[in-house]
């Protein structure tokens, strides 16, 4: 009982910290500071239609590199934690209930399109809502579908690891190319900016987002496979 | 927007309450996830400006007048980062839960007192 009361008090204190912000909240009427700069100058500077993408990939590209690193570390951590379990003696091969007809047919029909949609999302990250992380998550959901229907399905680890490491290394390489050929690390302007609003525009942003999409897709698929058994 | 901020703060409160009172390990992970969602909604709603659209400068918005037509893109970029980190943390915590369960066949946190003194 006392424990519950203390928990309630802590939760209420946490709410109270924020409550002050809620009461004195003044809705902003205009963009200010750095946001204004970004929205005003981004189309001529970087040429990406989606300002959020420009911020994530270029203006704060270093953050995104760190983010990809965190995701990589988490995937490695999951693999380390869960793969050790396989060395313990297994009590016979588990028999899974076969998937239902609906799931099977649906997966056969949908999984190629899900992967295609994921690729579409990360290729159009600079033009529409979307990007590498979202596209990668969609691809991983296609892989999840496969795991649901074929529980014994094994991913090709050699190909996955190569794809993931190549994508990660190329991401850093693209960043260094920006440092050498343009203004700074992860600068997208070493490739031509192209015509505003077309697929091959915004310099290196589509390249970077494609690499991130592949890396995130393979990492999340690896996490799913490890969590599966 | 005040309503949205209030809702987000309430969600965070629910998440923290669950984090402190639940005994089931999976529910603890879920509670942290709920608190995280509240924080993300809070951050996005801070950047919202009434009557404006998403910061995608296509032909419907136009480049020249975009400053007066779009919401703040910076919190959205931050939340994008926060979501991905959240997924990574959740996956890692769930795999710890799986390891713990494999060891003691229990999901109750009061069965794990080895580090308590």
List chain A domain ranges: 42-81+101-228
The DSSP element (H or E) to which B35 belongs, if any, is helix B25-46
pLDDT score recorded for residue A185: 80
> How large is the average pLDDT for residues A93-115?
81
B57 Cβ neighbours under 8 A, 6+ residues apart: A39, A42, A43, A49, A50, A51, B63, B66, B70
Q: Which residues of A4-40 are buried (b: 16+ CB within 10 A; e: fewer)?
A: eeebeeebeebbeebeeebeeeeebeebeeebeebbe
In Å, how far are A137, A144, A149, B4 from A117, measured between CA atoms?
Answer: 11, 15, 20, 31
- For B9, the closest of A22, A60, A67 (CB atoms) is A22
pLDDT of A133 above 80: yes
A chain contacts of residue B59, beta-carbon cutoff 8 Å: 197
What residues make up the domain containing B52? 2-115
pLDDT score recorded for residue A89: 54
pLDDT score recorded for residue B37: 92
Query: What pTM value is reported for the model?
Result: 0.81
Partner A contacted by B98 (CB < 8 A): yes
pLDDT score recorded for residue A94: 64
Using 50, 70 and 90 to split pLDDT, how confident is the model at B117? low
> How large is the average pLDDT for residues A161-178?
85
A chain contacts of residue B14, beta-carbon cutoff 8 Å: 11
Report the residue of A2, A8, A15, A227 to disrupt the B interface, i.e. the one with the largest count of B CBs within 10 Å: A15
CB hemisphere CA count around A115 (13 angstroms): 14
Quick: pLDDT tens for B19-53: 888 888 899 999 999 999 999 998 888 888 887 87
Q: Tell me how close the Cα of B68 comes to any Cα of chain A, in angstroms.
A: 7
B chain contacts of residue A31, beta-carbon cutoff 8 Å: 49, 67, 70, 72
CATH of the domain at B19: 1.10.287.3510
Q: Tell me how close the Cα of A4 comes to any Cα of chain B, in angstroms.
A: 6
pLDDT score recorded for residue B33: 93
Determine the residue of chain B that is closest to A65 in CA distance.
B81
Using 50, 70 and 90 to split pLDDT, how confident is the model at A15? confident
pLDDT of A171 above 80: yes
Q: Which of A85-99, A190-204, A205-219 is the most confident on average? A: A205-219
pLDDT of A135 above 80: yes
pLDDT score recorded for residue A158: 82
Q: Could you tell me which residues are beta bridge partners of residue B108?
A: B24
Q: Encoding tokens for residue A187?
A: 């600068």
- Tally of domains in chain B: 1
Is A30–B5 a contact, with Cβ atoms under 8 angstroms apart?
no
Partner A contacted by B63 (CB < 8 A): yes
Q: Tell me how close the Cα of A80 comes to any Cα of chain B, in angstroms.
A: 10
């Amino acid at each position: 009982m006392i424990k519950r009361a203390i928990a309630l008090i802590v939760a209420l204190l946490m709410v109270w910290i924020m409550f002050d912000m809620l009461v004195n909240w003044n809705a902003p009427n205009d963009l200010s500071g750095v946001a204004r700069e970004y929205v005003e100058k981004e189309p001529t500077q970087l040429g990406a239609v989606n300002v959020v993408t420009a911020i994530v990939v270029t203006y704060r590209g270093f953050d995104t590199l760190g983010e990809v690193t965190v995701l990589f570390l988490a995937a490695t951590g999951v693999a380390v934690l869960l793969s050790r379990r396989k060395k313990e003696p297994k009590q016979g091969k588990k028999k899974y209930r076969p998937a239902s007809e609906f799931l099977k047919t649906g997966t056969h029909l949908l999984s190629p399109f899900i992967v295609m949609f994921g690729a579409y999302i990360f290729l159009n990250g600079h033009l529409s809502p979307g990007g590498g992380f979202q596209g990668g998550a969609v691809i991983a959901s296609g892989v999840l579908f496969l795991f649901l229907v074929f529980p014994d399905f094994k991913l090709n680890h050699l190909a996955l690891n190569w794809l993931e490491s190549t994508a990660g290394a190329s991401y850093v390489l693209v960043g260094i190319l920006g440092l050498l050929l343009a203004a700074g690390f992860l600068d997208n302007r070493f490739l031509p900016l192209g015509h505003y609003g077309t697929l091959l525009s915004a310099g290196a942003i589509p390249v970077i987002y494609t690499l991130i999409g592949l890396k995130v897709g393979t990492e999340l698929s690896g996490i799913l496979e490890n969590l599966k058994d | 927007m005040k309503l949205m901020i209030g809702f987000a703060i309430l969600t965070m409160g629910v998440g923290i309450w669950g984090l402190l009172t639940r005994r089931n390990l999976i529910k603890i992970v879920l509670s942290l996830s709920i608190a995280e969602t509240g924080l993300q909604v809070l951050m996005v709603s801070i950047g919202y400006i009434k009557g404006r659209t998403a910061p995608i400068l296509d032909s419907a918005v136009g480049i020249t007048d975009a400053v007066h037509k779009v919401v703040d893109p910076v919190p959205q970029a931050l939340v994008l980062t926060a979501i991905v980190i959240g997924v990574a943390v959740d996956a890692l915590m769930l795999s710890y839960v799986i390891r713990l369960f494999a060891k003691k066949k229990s999901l109750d946190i009061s069965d794990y007192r080895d580090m308590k003194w």
